[in-house]
Structure 1
Amino acid sequence: MTHDITGYRAKVGVVVPSTNTVVEHDTAMLAPHGVTFHTGRMYIDNPAMNSDETFVNLIEQIRASMKVALRDVMTAKPDLIMMGMSAETFWGGVEGNASFIKRVEAMVDGLQVTTGASACRAALEAFDVKKIAVFSPYQPVADVNVNRYFTEAGFDVLKVTGLRVPSATAIAEVTEEQVIRTLREIDSPDVEAIVQVGTNLSMVRLADQAEHWLGKPVIAINAATIWHTLRSAGFTDTWGAAGSLLRDH
């Protein structure tokens, strides 16, 4: 077998909305030697998500452009597929995520597909926790689906908070001060772990830091999705300064 010179262990195809500026940064930061990440972008014409209606429209744009993005990334002959977008993977709860994976698998010749929803679930199971708090950049219509997914997956969701960011591009503009304030607001003694969803929100380094002052796991969705992609493929690489999930599991 002939191996790619740079991706000699694996090539991962990653699909992101065209508005996303964070996933590629995070995959570059966490890529192990010999594993490369290659991005296909789903065209977003209208990035507004300042209401439930515009958020649903954003989801519909993602659905309409996903096939082309997958087609494009498959030309790199990837070994694995990682979905670098999260809201759609929570839509419809556990069954919705399972159906989504089946649809994507059919477009990528049956390659292994990792979603943000599946990855966060696996991460929480690795920590053996049940009582969680979740925050997102989303509108209420999406947070309902996030809540539904985690509840159906067997977790006790004590709090879900959406930052109600006005556009898909503005997610990347959420400041560390906003995130820290939100983490403190949703934390309580009963919460065993905190989960952040929304792949365009930069959180990997801050999640690692927050674990020290919160004293509990803080799961950033990009860290979880990269971790789950690599672990599912049998890679056991670990990382420092990117959260206890990537260091210890």
Structure 2
Amino acid sequence: MTDKSFKFSVISEPKDEKQWLGVARQAEDLGFTTLLMADVLTAPAPFPALALAAGATTTLRVGTWVLAGPLRLPRMAAWESHTLSALSGGRFDLGIGTGRPFVLEDADKLLGLQAPSAKERLAQVEKTIDELRALDGDAHTPVLIAAGGPKARALAAAKADLVTLAASPFTTREEMAERVAEVRKQAGDRAEKLEFISPIYVIGDEAPPWVPRLLRTDMKTLIEHDSLNILRGSPQEMADELRRRRETLGFSSFTVNAVFMEKFAPVVELLT
């Protein structure tokens, strides 16, 4: 389905300066493309943390996974994104979405922000992208859209550079291939420029404690359903499986949590 080069990203969270810069430098040394960070109000803020990581590395990209649109005015999110892109030498990717339910709950509880409707949240995402494009001028900050429903997928087809398809861990390969094909068809002439990113939450046979809470299921069930959120086997077997996912599903970019960075590094070496 695609012959795009593989790219691999690490998702992590800062605990302190030494740990955070260590993660960034190790990710760069091991051949990962990007260091990603979530946008949640109960964790460190992404923009200053990612700026610090970019300043401590030379080729590593940094990005949000993903910015919650309702937490910021579109112009403010675009302003911060453009600044980080400019000061990092163009090494920033703006990942943005409409916000997961728990993020919207925290926004209400901690900031007093009432969650807009789904339609309004999607409009905020689009407005943020438009504001960023205006600020970028001749530059171009890559935008990743986390797209769940049909309207979000249509927006991704129209304006994203990178797309991750928010889906159940039990989404079948056939269903995922159909969604990728849908976005590509809607993108028209832009289709070949799109890069599809797939999150992998577990490398191997044992899931960290946070994975069942996040996915609301256990490892046994994920295996039984051939979930695309897990990757098992030897490094060579995992590399072969990712080649199959690229060929049959269209995914050329994959994310892993930093707890699996060293374990996954041999796969990165085989595919890059």
The verdict on a shared fold, with TM-score over 0.5 as the criterion, is: no
> Which has more radius of gyration?
2
- Normalising by structure 1, what TM-score? 0.34
Decide which structure has greater helix share: 2
- Normalising by structure 2, what TM-score? 0.32
